[in-house]
Amino acid sequence: MIDKTLPSCEAAVADVHDGATVMVGGFGTAGMPYALIDALLAQGARELTIVNNNAGNGDTGLAALIRHRRVRRIVCSFPRQTDSQHFDAAYRAGEIELELVPQGNLAARIHAAGNGLGAIFTPTGYGTRIAEDKETREIDGRHYVLEYPLHADFSLIRAHRGDRWGNLVYRKTARNFGPLMAMAAKCTIAEVDDVVPLGGLDPEAVVTPGIFVQRVVATSAHRREAA
């Protein structure tokens, strides 16, 4: 019997190595896998490359990882926010490297990795600083920039429900980057509100098929017994 559920976030992130590239789901706080990030913080891995839309909000989650100097490099679209003080400080101190990627290109590059493509020509960013030193090409009268896929060693994502085969559904706009990041990592770890028995998810409505997910952890207080 295949059971991808794990009893704790600690167990789920135990093998994240120093220097790993870790995608972290979420747009702002919606879909942010807080329990997995807390576990990663406690686990202690360093020199991480983080891929997320933002660079942390407030003092918890991704912001805490940055505050504790676990992040060497961040790939994101919108680091600067009113409550991104820990990133701001690390960046100004030269302690963190930033690769700024337009949000749609970020999604497309993660998706390109998940689709096994070698590179894509995307129109976003053409003629701007973002495309400086990048290969460009005119195709059918439109200008494109060549962008490469973003792969990860681990993806930490938050979903609504999962089953022991790793199938996932999300909740509202907390879906955001989760399904893409699940496709782009060697090891995808999902924290979910509930683990449901096999068959508890409508096969027509599964958003992330289990083939993209290696580990599932229920983090809700009202966790249910799995199949």
Pick 45 or 165: Cβ nearer another protein: 165
To another protein, the closest distance from the beta carbon of 201 in angstroms equals 7
Structure tokens at 112: 């390109």
H or E stretch covering 114: helix 103-114
Closest separation between CB of residue 77 and another protein, Å?
A: 5
What minimum distance in Å lies between the beta carbon of 154 and another protein? 15
Q: Which amino acid is at 75?
A: V
Q: Does 27 bind another protein (CB under 8 A)?
A: yes
Which residue of 82, 93, 94, 116 would you call a contact of a copy of itself, by CB under 8 A? Answer: 116
Question: What's the rounded Cα separation, in Å, for the pair 32 and 39?
Answer: 13
Q: Across-strand partners of 188?
A: 155
Asked whether position 35 contacts another protein by CB under 8 A, the answer is no
Q: Decide whether 33 or 179 has the Cβ nearer to another protein.
A: 179
The number of residues that bind a copy of itself (CB under 8 A) is 25
Binding residue (CB under 8 A) for a copy of itself from 1, 93, 205, 221: 205
CA pair distance 41, 64, nearest whole angstrom: 8
Binding segment for another protein (CB under 8 A), chosen from 7-15, 37-45, 133-141, 207-215, is 207-215
Are 49 and 96 in contact by the 8 Å Cβ rule? The answer is no
Q: How many CB atoms lie within 10 A of CB 146?
A: 13
Q: Is 94 in the site for a copy of itself (CB under 8 A)?
A: no
What element of type H or E holds 79?
A: none
Mask of contacts with another protein, 102-131, x by CB under 8 A? xxxxxxx-xx-xxxxx----xxxxxxxxx-
Task: Spell out the SS3 assignment of 136-161.
Answer: EEEECCEEEEEECCCCEEEEEEEEEE
Determine, following the binding rule CB under 8 A, whether residue 142 of this chain makes contact with a copy of itself.
yes
Q: 4: which 2 tokens?
A: 């991808």
Residue 184 and residue 110 in contact, taking contact as beta carbons nearer than 8 Å: yes
Of these partners, another protein, a copy of itself, none, which one is at the site of residue 119 (CB under 5 to 8 Å by kind)? a copy of itself
Using rule CB under 8 A, residue 220 touches another protein: no
- Residues 164-203 within binding reach of another protein (CB under 8 A): 164-165, 167, 170-180, 183-184, 198-199, 201, 203
Classify strands 185-195 and 71-76 as parallel, antiparallel or unpaired: unpaired
Q: Are strands 48-51 and 71-76 parallel, antiparallel or unpaired?
A: parallel
Residues that bind a copy of itself in the complex, under the rule CB under 8 A: 108, 112, 115-123, 137, 139-140, 142, 144, 148, 169-172, 202, 204-205, 207
